[in-house]
């Protein structure tokens, strides 16, 4: 076997250009696999993270009626506690459930600003800054100014929204909203920060303000429109959700409140999981496609070395040894090509993991409600690199079985027309 490996390795140098082309074909395919996988994983992780951070938490608790009319952001179906005990008591009870790390209240409401010529519709998110900054990466998206302070009439807006309002950081803006009593009320806030998150929703629709300011403005003290529960990881949702439902039931609130796992809050997420599986099949076909170059090369090699195979057979090499010889030769091409491709793919992923790939212009027509970040950051991971490398080696080696079997099946006299 050692000697066969030696011959196989030396054989690679017979036609250097041909070997080089085969290696490049495999390297290119494996590089695409590493990049595509990093990109898809990055995109899916981003969709999940955005969905969880800005929409659903790991578990979302809302009033059942609110859920029906969520698009209208109604204020008359708040989350205001269990059995009249108030929001804070409800949050404390939920925090008592094992594996619940945070309970985050959000008060979402519709609002508008007059620019003189037109009314700009917006969505206000009253949040507890400390919790919000812990849970989301919103603070990282701040490109100008600072985040708002609790107790202060301050707002933070997205770049797109500021442009629509023709305002900038430091300006004051008067925002109108319908209160819980259905009365229109305007409050003037100071714009203290500007966001650029890549999420159309946050950049063009939403403005952040302190929860206490939103509650006081909308006459919704000790109330929110939703509660988001955060567990240590999203894999625990299936374990925690039944306990949340049990708590709601024990406090006679299961008919009023709805507790939803993050998977139930978006139609997109199950498809994303499916996409991961489908793409894994596509990667195999991609490498198989590149393997055709290697198969073609190997078929040519078998044809060229027919007499040599006959000679080896005459010397007493068994069919399985000849099979091994060609598989080792193809395998070496697979290993070198896959290694090269995996490394190149990783370097590309490392680069884009920092800079991101901006699809803003391509996604300009997408709905603002879609929680989908237009800047995708591919994930560069050792597991991905190793996966692509192993996939490349296995697929190429298996593909080499075709010409190798052909070589092994040659009868010595067919291969060797003379002795």
Partner 1 sequence: MSLLELKGIRKVYHQGKIEVPALRGVDLTIEEGEFTTVFGPSGSGKTTLLNMIGCLDKPSSGVITFAGRELGQLSKKDLAMLRRYNVGFVFQSYNLIPVLTAYENVEFAVRLTTKGREKELRERVMAILAAVGLEGLEARKPNELSGGQKQRVAIARALVKEPKLVLADEPSANLDSQTSTEVLEVMVKMNQELGTTFIFSTHDPQVMDYAGRMIEIRDGQISEDKRREGQYVSD
Q: Does 418 bind partner 1 (CB under 8 A)?
A: yes
- The Cα–Cα gap between 99 and 102 comes to 9
- Sequence-distant (≥ 6) Cβ neighbours of residue 155 within 8 angstroms: 148, 173, 175, 189, 190, 191, 192, 207, 208, 209
Q: Does 355 bind partner 1 (CB under 8 A)?
A: no
Neighbours of 35 (CB within 10 A): 22
- The Cα–Cα gap between 209 and 128 comes to 9
**Which parts of 52-182 fold into alpha helices (H)?**
64-68, 87-95, 129-135, 159-165
Type and span of the H or E element at 375:
strand 375-376
Q: How far is the CB of 364 from partner 1 (least distance, A)?
A: 58
Q: How far is the CB of 331 from partner 1 (least distance, A)?
A: 17
Residue in 84, 235, 316, 365 binding partner 1, rule: CB under 8 A: 316
Q: How far is the CB of 402 from partner 1 (least distance, A)?
A: 21
- Sequence-distant (≥ 6) Cβ neighbours of residue 361 within 8 angstroms: none
Whose CA is closest to 167, among 150, 137, 184, 144? Answer: 144
Q: Does 405 bind partner 1 (CB under 8 A)?
A: no
Dihedrals φ, ψ of 257, to 5°?
-100, 150
Complex with partner 1: residue 310 or 392, whichever CB lies closer: 310
Complex with partner 1: residue 326 or 377, whichever CB lies closer: 326
Neighbours of 69 (CB within 10 A): 12
Q: Does 308 bind partner 1 (CB under 8 A)?
A: yes
Complex with partner 1: residue 2 or 71, whichever CB lies closer: 2
Number of residues that bind partner 1 (CB under 8 A): 25
Neighbours of 212 (CB within 10 A): 15
Q: Does 303 bind partner 1 (CB under 8 A)?
A: no
Q: Which of residues 2-61 bind partner 1 (CB under 8 A)?
A: 3, 6-7, 10-11, 13-14
Q: Does 332 bind partner 1 (CB under 8 A)?
A: no
Q: Does 333 bind partner 1 (CB under 8 A)?
A: no
Q: Does 324 bind partner 1 (CB under 8 A)?
A: no
Helix (H, G, I), strand (E, B), or coil: what is residue 350? helix
- The Cα–Cα gap between 120 and 217 comes to 19
Q: Does 314 bind partner 1 (CB under 8 A)?
A: yes
Complex with partner 1: residue 175 or 309, whichever CB lies closer: 309
- The Cα–Cα gap between 121 and 110 comes to 7
Q: Does 315 bind partner 1 (CB under 8 A)?
A: yes
Stretch that binds partner 1, among 155-163, 201-209, 216-224, 307-315 (CB under 8 A): 307-315
Complex with partner 1: residue 67 or 319, whichever CB lies closer: 319
- The Cα–Cα gap between 412 and 355 comes to 59
Q: How far is the CB of 319 from partner 1 (least distance, A)?
A: 7
- The Cα–Cα gap between 249 and 264 comes to 20
Q: Does 297 bind partner 1 (CB under 8 A)?
A: no
Q: Does 419 bind partner 1 (CB under 8 A)?
A: yes
Complex with partner 1: residue 71 or 417, whichever CB lies closer: 417
Please give the residue ranges that form the binding site for partner 1 (CB under 8 A): 3, 6-7, 10-11, 13-14, 307-308, 310-311, 313-319, 411-413, 416-419
């Amino acid at each position: 076997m050692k000697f066969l490996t030696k011959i196989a390795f030396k054989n690679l140098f017979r036609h250097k250009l041909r070997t080089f082309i085969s290696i490049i074909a495999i390297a290119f395919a494996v590089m695409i696999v590493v990049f595509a996988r990093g990109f898809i994983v990055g995109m899916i992780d981003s969709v999940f993270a955005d969905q969880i951070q800005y929409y659903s938490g790991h578990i979302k608790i809302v009033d059942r009626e609110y859920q029906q009319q969520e698009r209208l952001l109604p204020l008359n179906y708040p989350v205001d506690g269990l059995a009249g005990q108030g929001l804070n008591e409800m949050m404390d009870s939920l925090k008592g459930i094992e594996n619940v790390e945070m309970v985050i209240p959000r008060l979402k409401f519709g609002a508008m600003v007059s620019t003189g010529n037109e009314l700009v519709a917006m969505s206000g998110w009253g949040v507890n800054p400390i919790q919000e900054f812990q849970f989301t990466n919103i603070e990282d998206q701040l490109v100008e100014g600072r985040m708002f302070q609790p107790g202060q009439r301050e707002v933070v807006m997205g770049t797109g929204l500021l442009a629509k309002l023709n305002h900038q950081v430091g300006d004051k803006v008067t925002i109108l909203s319908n209160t819980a009593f259905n009365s229109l009320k305007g409050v003037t806030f100071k714009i203290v920060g500007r966001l650029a998150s890549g999420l159309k929703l946050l950049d063009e629709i939403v403005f952040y303000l302190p929860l206490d300011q939103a509650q006081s403005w909308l006459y919704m003290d000790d109330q929110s429109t939703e509660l988001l529960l955060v567990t240590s990881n999203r894999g625990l949702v299936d374990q925690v959700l039944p306990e949340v439902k049990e708590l709601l039931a024990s406090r006679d609130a299961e008919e009023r409140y709805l507790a939803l796992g993050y998977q139930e809050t978006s139609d997109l997420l199950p498809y994303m999981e499916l996409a991961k599986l489908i793409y894994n099949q596509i990667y195999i076909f991609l490498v198989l496609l590149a393997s055709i170059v290697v198969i073609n090369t190997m078929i040519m090699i078998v044809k060229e070395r027919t007499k040599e195979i006959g000679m080896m057979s005459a010397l007493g090499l068994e069919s399985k040894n000849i099979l091994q010889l060609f598989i080792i030769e193809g395998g070496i091409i697979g290993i070198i090509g896959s290694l090269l491709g995996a490394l190149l793919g990783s370097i590309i992923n490392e680069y884009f993991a920092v800079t991101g790939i901006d699809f803003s212009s391509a996604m300009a027509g997408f709905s603002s409600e879609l929680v989908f970040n237009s800047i995708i950051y591919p994930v560069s991971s050792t597991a991905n690199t190793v996966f692509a490398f192993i996939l490349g080696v296995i697929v190429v080696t298996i593909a080499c079985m075709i010409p190798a079997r052909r070589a092994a099946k040659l009868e010595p006299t067919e291969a060797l027309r003379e002795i």
